[in-house]
């Protein structure tokens, strides 16, 4: 027998998990497999984004009337299709669609979950070959199984999430997800086309070296936010030095924070007086994941982000998130009187 331990795939891992929880129905595992499949399809398109125009030209004579889709529309369609086909959720909501989408076939309607997604995060990075991602969030429905899902199923506070995660299409492609118990990271092995468990039981380091925020808005932030930023800027060579990084893709910022520690902020400013990032599609799933890994996420000095009660699907929120020790200082500076 080969003594070398083989790496577990996402499908094997989710099935294995079912053995540990005899009462489990397998619906969540089925959902994760559907999300993994859509992610692989999106990954193929992301990898050829730079040559999409060339391929489009070549295909024009053969494929009549088929418009080349923008990557974020393509990603949205892939995740909608995968979730609809999975029959393990009764509806979904996407950053790209104004209203939620109920799945009305009998199997889907009998399932207990709803899913929210940001199909392509950081889409401004596509043209310059920098990381982009997908974010997803899973809730147990409030309305009875067997009936069409309703808006209230989607408007639950982030603390009610059953699972949440992201896919990062970076120098490698990874799927990272959290349940109430743990955070697990899988890396896509292109040779077999499977996500393989590479980062089991991820924990966010309590401290880190990096702070991340769009500094271009510095003078538009309020006093409290500027106080937070100033706390990370060394004024003498003797002070502790932090590095500033800003990728322009929340998934990439959070992934780096999970692996290396650090903090990421997207506060309110100028025309975005409630912040710019979406509560239900971006901030809740990432906050759930970071908290499960030991980190902290705030919407304001005295407001845990996961406790915010959403009132609208596309609601925005400020966010301050990251390593627990660094976030203690952030919280104190946010709360301090100017």
Nearer to ligand AHG, 37 or 249 (CB): 249
Q: 291 touches which of Mn ion, ligand AHG, none (CB within 5 to 8 A by kind)?
A: none
* DSSP of 57-69: HHHTTTSTT-PPP
By CB under 6 A, what part of segment 78-107 binds ligand AHG?
A: 95
Q: Which of 36, 91, 122, 205 binds ligand AHG (CB under 6 A)?
A: 122
Measuring CA to CA, how many Å separate 104 from each of 40, 87, 91, 149? 26, 10, 8, 9
Q: Does 121 bind ligand AHG (CB under 6 A)?
A: yes
Nearer to ligand AHG, 59 or 270 (CB): 270
Q: Does 118 bind Mn ion (CB under 5 A)?
A: yes
How many Å apart are CA 11 and CA 163, to the nearest integer? 16
Q: Which of 11, 15, 109, 123 binds ligand AHG (CB under 6 A)?
A: 123
How many Å apart are CA 326 and CA 126, to the nearest integer? 31
Q: 249 touches which of ligand AHG, Mn ion, none (CB within 5 to 8 A by kind)?
A: ligand AHG
Q: Does 198 bind ligand AHG (CB under 6 A)?
A: no
The three-state secondary structure class of 275 is strand
Q: 210 touches which of ligand AHG, Mn ion, none (CB within 5 to 8 A by kind)?
A: none
Q: How far is the CB of 96 from ligand AHG (least distance, A)?
A: 9
Q: How far is the CB of 118 from ligand AHG (least distance, A)?
A: 5
Nearer to ligand AHG, 88 or 288 (CB): 288
199 neighbors 323 (Cβ within 8 angstroms): no
* Beta strand extents in 209-335 (DSSP E only): 210-212, 243-244, 263-266, 296-300, 303-304, 319-322
201 neighbors 179 (Cβ within 8 angstroms): no
Q: Does 250 bind ligand AHG (CB under 6 A)?
A: yes
How many Å apart are CA 282 and CA 274, to the nearest integer? 14
173 neighbors 193 (Cβ within 8 angstroms): no
- List, edge to edge, every strand of the sheet that includes 319-322: 243-244, 210-212, 263-266, 319-322, 296-300, 303-304
Q: Does 325 bind ligand AHG (CB under 6 A)?
A: no
Q: How far is the CB of 273 from ligand AHG (least distance, A)?
A: 14
3-state helix, strand, coil in the chain (%, to 5): 40, 25, 40
Q: 248 touches which of ligand AHG, Mn ion, none (CB within 5 to 8 A by kind)?
A: ligand AHG
Q: How far is the CB of 231 from ligand AHG (least distance, A)?
A: 20
Q: Which of 78, 94, 118, 184 binds ligand AHG (CB under 6 A)?
A: 118
322 neighbors 204 (Cβ within 8 angstroms): yes
Nearer to ligand AHG, 219 or 240 (CB): 219
Q: Which residues bind ligand AHG (CB under 6 A)?
A: 95, 118, 121-123, 214, 248-250, 266, 276
């Amino acid at each position: 027998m080969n003594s070398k331990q083989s790496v577990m795939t996402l499908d094997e891992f989710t099935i294995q998990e079912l053995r540990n929880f005899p009462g489990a129905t397998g619906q969540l595992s089925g959902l994760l497999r559907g999300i993994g499949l859509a992610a692989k399809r999106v990954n193929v398109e992301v990898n050829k984004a730079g040559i999409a125009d060339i391929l489009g030209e070549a295909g024009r004579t053969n494929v009549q009337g088929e418009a080349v889709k923008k990557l974020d529309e393509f990603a949205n369609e892939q995740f909608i299709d995968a979730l609809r086909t999975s029959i393990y959720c009764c509806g979904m909501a996407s950053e790209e669609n104004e209203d939620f989408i109920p799945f009305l076939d009998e199997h889907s309607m009998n399932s207990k979950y709803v899913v929210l997604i940001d199909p392509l995060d950081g889409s401004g990075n596509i043209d310059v070959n920098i990381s982009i991602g997908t974010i997803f969030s899973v809730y147990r429905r409030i309305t009875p199984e067997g009936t069409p899902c309703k808006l209230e199923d989607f408007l639950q506070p982030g603390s009610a999430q059953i699972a949440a995660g992201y896919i990062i299409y970076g120098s490698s492609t990874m799927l990272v997800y959290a349940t109430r118990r743990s955070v697990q990271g899988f890396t896509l092995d292109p040779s077999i086309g499977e996500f393989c468990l590479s980062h089991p039981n991820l924990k966010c380091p309590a401290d880190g070296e990096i702070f991340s925020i769009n500094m271009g808005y510095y003078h538009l932030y309020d006093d409290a936010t500027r106080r937070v930023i100033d706390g990370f800027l060394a004024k003498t060579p003797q002070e502790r030095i932090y590095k500033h990084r800003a990728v322009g893709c929340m998934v990439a910022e959070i992934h780096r924070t999970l692996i290396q520690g650090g903090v990421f902020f997207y506060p309110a400013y100028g025309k975005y007086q409630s912040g710019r990032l979406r509560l239900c599609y971006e901030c809740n799933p990432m906050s759930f994941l970071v908290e499960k890994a030991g980190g902290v996420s705030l919407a304001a000095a005295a407001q845990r982000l996961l406790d915010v009660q959403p009132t609208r699907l596309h609601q925005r929120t400020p966010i301050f998130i990251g390593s627990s020790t660094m976030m203690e200082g952030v919280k104190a500076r946010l709360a301090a009187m100017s």
